[in-house]
């Protein structure tokens, strides 16, 4: 019975993870050049500067905002949120096939910033900057 339960759990987990794996945007974004990531994070830094926030505030930016830089709009985000030290985008869709992209300080190391994808339980750092 335990084996059957484990097999069912594995299959359900795999089935919920497959849509994200089939998302070409997810893999394409994770295999860009270092220059692309540097340009992207510079834009994120400019968004953080343009949206100074108080402690714990979060601002949703309309994905149709004409002031958004092309490097952001080219990703066709579903949602964009800015908090005091984070720019977060939801890409792909607003469901299981969607994934997050965040630019923020590494936890516990505020002098190191990371660009990372967040998909289901998979968090992958794709660029780091001091």
> For the segment 7-55, what is each residue's pLDDT rounded down to a tens digit?
555 554 554 444 445 567 887 888 899 999 999 999 999 999 998 877 7
Of the chain, the end-to-end C-alpha distance in Å amounts to 51
pLDDT above 90 (res 87): yes
- Please state, rounded to an integer, the average pLDDT across all residues of the chain: 84
DSSP state of 64: T
Q: Helices (DSSP H) in the chain: which residue ranges?
A: 2-21, 24-29, 34-50, 70-73
What pTM did the predictor assign? 0.80
Burial class (CB in 10 A: 0-12, 13-18, 19+), 44: buried
Contact between 79 and 89 under an 8 Å Cβ cutoff? The reply is yes
Rounded distance, CA 6 to CA 70, Å?
45
User: How high is the pLDDT of residue 4?
Assistant: 57
């Amino acid at each position: 019975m335990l084996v059957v339960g484990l097999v069912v759990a594995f299959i359900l987990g795999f089935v919920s993870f497959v849509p994200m794996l089939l998302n070409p945007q997810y893999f394409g974004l994770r295999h860009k050049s270092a220059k692309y990531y540097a340009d992207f994070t510079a834009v994120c830094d400019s968004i953080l500067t343009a949206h100074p926030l108080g402690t714990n505030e979060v601002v949703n930016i309309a994905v149709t905002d004409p002031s958004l830089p092309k490097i952001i709009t080219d990703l066709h985000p579903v949602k964009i949120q800015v908090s005091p030290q984070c720019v977060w985008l939801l890409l792909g869709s607003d469901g299981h096939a969607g994934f997050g992209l965040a630019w923020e300080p590494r936890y516990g190391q505020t002098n190191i910033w990371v660009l990372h994808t967040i998909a289901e339980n998979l968090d992958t750092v794709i660029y780091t900057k001091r």
